[in-house]
Amino acid sequence: MEENNDHRRPEDDYDLNKPVVSSPAAATGLRRNLTSYGDAHFSLFLRKAFIKALGYSDDALSRPIIGIINTYSSYNACHANVPNLIEAVKRGVQLQGGLPIDFPTISLHESFAAPTSMFLRNLMSIDTEEMIRAQPMDACVMIGGCDKTVPAQLMGGISANKPILPLLTGPMMPGSYRGQRLGACTDCRNNWAKYRAGEIDIEEISAINEELAPTSGTCGVMGTASTMACITAALGLIPLRGASAPAVSSTRLRIAEETGANAVAAAKAKRTPQEILTKESFLNAITVLQAIGGSTNGIVHIMAIVNRHPKLQGEITLQTFDDIGRKTPMLIDLKPSGENYMTDFHNAGGMLALMHTLRPLLHLNAMTITGKTLGEVLDESPFKSFPFSTQVIRPLSDPLYPWSSLVVLRGNIAPDGAIIKASASKDRRLLRHSGPAVVFENIADMTARIDDPDLPFTPDSVLVLKSIGPVGNPGMPEAGLIPIPRKLGRQGVQDMLRLSDGRMSGTAGGTIVLHISPESALPESPFGIVRTGDVITCDVEARKLQLEISDEELKRRIEERRVIQSEKMRIEYAQRGYRGLYLRSVNQAQDGVDFDFLTARGATRS
């Protein structure tokens, strides 16, 4: 029988003849997760004494406690609206009779984390998990937005397994330069490429810099932040409009208030993520990922999230993404695969319109945080399309791209898989291409030589960048968007086939193969043996990525470098602190770049 705290008097907490809680599972509110002093009554007595220093009454402390994760940081423009969101969440919690208490965790911004925010994603997931687990709360609202914060929070929240409700900070508004709309960060990259090619001068690039991020909020295109927002909605963890409402809008504040109210209901019903999220939830999320032409990062993050779920680890693989992609057209006309911005997606009906459009492809029995199925949510919220909505959110009969926005490739240099965002290719001829490799061993090598006019670059060359995988950099940086060599850019070349074991920003475009696994830093990596002049074939339709050498030559090269590379990794693994922990524990791209000991299966490395 669960303890009914509604009938407890304040003095009951000090009655030594009554247990503080009948069982750990029955603990609620302030009685959750008591500090270990060897005396539960004293633990609660001391906890109440200190929290009363903040002015709380016994009446307030008897309510369901809703934790609110505060990821505000003066380094993080994507989260500049977090203080206002916290106040709105508190309002929603209090209107439903709960007690909101906010607390801080790590805040990550893509441009303010060295060597890369991905290096710190798992650290943020640990922080999130342990703070949810340690502190007394019946549910937790997790406020995040910038690329790696949302997956980190979902990873940590699933592992902690208290009721969790993500709240996204929302996308920024677009800016304008000479009458043309601009938005971070697709237009950052496109205009920088023009500047490198000499198409615009230093004064223009400086003026454009002023308009790329004109308001707070996450990138205003279908980059990783917006992709994760849509995925979170598809998983059923946030209101559908919560994926797209602008950061600076009053709608975003109303969503925050609604999230606070939903948190109280979820706390009372004890709707934990491991209960709500099923295989069907993730199949829906992957369907949405393909339909929106989402970031390649979404694949890594979904794999990390699903592998935290003890009932689902191994149920979703890279092949799942490809299988769903073959039957899911890309519908969303947003940069970098299209022309519009997140504000347009929102005004066109956002996730509600998209989910109605995708209804024949979705598992409608998947549960949501409200306790209703996805089908029930859609039935209660009909959507009638209008001309603008079908321009931005295409019908299934008239997609922007017919199939597989995100494609899984395999071959002798990517036996564990690689990813290409086919819909973002700027030259579709390159989706079936063979050419000679020009190899850069690492970022420093590329930086030093990419603009060397004497290198054997032609438009048919395949640019290869090694040592930017999970271990190699470390942190798997978004350096996969290898710049077009300046001498070719000035000839009008805008796209080339490019390969790496790293990632690229969801805001980037081009014919770019990423996440090649096993990564080149590992002694057994076939990708690590590629040399300048080798011919590489990429055939997206055939799902093929092949180095055109014999199996015998491939094995000979691997054995040739194995001893040297093993010694390098031994030295790397010996490093101290978080970096050493990361290098020794991180898994590969196809498994989500999580720490092996954080997955539901736990550490497996000997």
What is the 8-class DSSP label of residue 218? B
411: which strand partners? 414
70: which strand partners? 104
Q: Please, are residues 520 and 442 in contact by the beta-carbon 8 Å criterion?
A: no
Q: Which domains does the chain have, with CATH numbers?
A: 1-62 (no CATH), 63-173+215-380 (3.40.50.2300), 175-214 (no CATH), 413-558 (3.50.30.80)
Peptide bond into 459 cis (omega under 30): no
Distance CA 544, CA 309 (A): 31
Residue 497's contacts (CB-CB under 8 Å, 6 or more residues apart) are: 430, 433, 435, 462, 463, 511, 512, 513, 536, 538
Give the pLDDT of residue 436.
98
Give the pLDDT of residue 8.
63
Distance CA 164, CA 439 (A): 45
Using DSSP's 3-state secondary structure scheme, residue 140 falls into: strand
| Residues of the chain where predicted confidence (pLDDT) is lower than 50 | 1-6, 604-606
Distance CA 286, CA 350 (A): 17
Distance CA 394, CA 240 (A): 18
Name the burial class of residue 218, with classes exposed (0-12), middle (13-18) and buried (19+) by CB atoms within 10 angstroms of its CB.
Answer: buried
Give the pLDDT of residue 106.
97
**What is the separation of C-alpha 49 from the centre of its chain, rounded to a whole number of angstroms?**
40
Give the pLDDT of residue 97.
97
Give the count of alpha carbons within 13 A of 551, CB side only: 2
Using DSSP's 3-state secondary structure scheme, residue 499 falls into: strand
H or E, element range at 440 = strand 432-440
* pTM of the entire predicted model: 0.95
What is the 8-class DSSP label of residue 52? G
Distance CA 13, CA 63 (A): 14
Distance CA 463, CA 495 (A): 11
Distance CA 534, CA 153 (A): 42
Q: Which two tokens stand for residue 255?
A: 């969503």
Looking at 51-187, which runs of residues are DSSP E strands? 65-70, 99-104, 139-144, 164-168, 175-177, 180-182
Using DSSP's 3-state secondary structure scheme, residue 42 falls into: helix
* Cα dihedral across residues 215, 91, 235, 364: positive or negative: negative
Residue 107 vs residues 78, 80, 153, 228: alpha-carbon distances, Å:
10, 11, 11, 16
Name the burial class of residue 375, with classes exposed (0-12), middle (13-18) and buried (19+) by CB atoms within 10 angstroms of its CB.
Answer: middle
Distance CA 417, CA 543 (A): 10
Distance CA 35, CA 387 (A): 58
Give me the amino acid identity at 592: G
Furthest CA-CA distance within the chain:
85
Q: Please, are residues 558 and 550 in contact by the beta-carbon 8 Å criterion?
A: no
pLDDT tens digits for range 379-402: 999 999 999 999 999 999 999 999
Please state whether 514 falls in left (phi above 0), alpha (psi between -120 and 50) or beta: beta
Q: Please, are residues 482 and 461 in contact by the beta-carbon 8 Å criterion?
A: no
Give the pLDDT of residue 603.
54
Residue 20's contacts (CB-CB under 8 Å, 6 or more residues apart) are: 13, 31, 34, 40, 41, 43, 44
Position of tokens 């977090």?
A: 82
Q: Please, are residues 76 and 108 in contact by the beta-carbon 8 Å criterion?
A: yes
* DSSP labels, 228-291: HHHHHHHTTSS-GGGGTS-TTSHHHHHHHHHHHHHHHHHHHHT--HHHH--HHHHHHHHHHHHH
Give the pLDDT of residue 259.
98
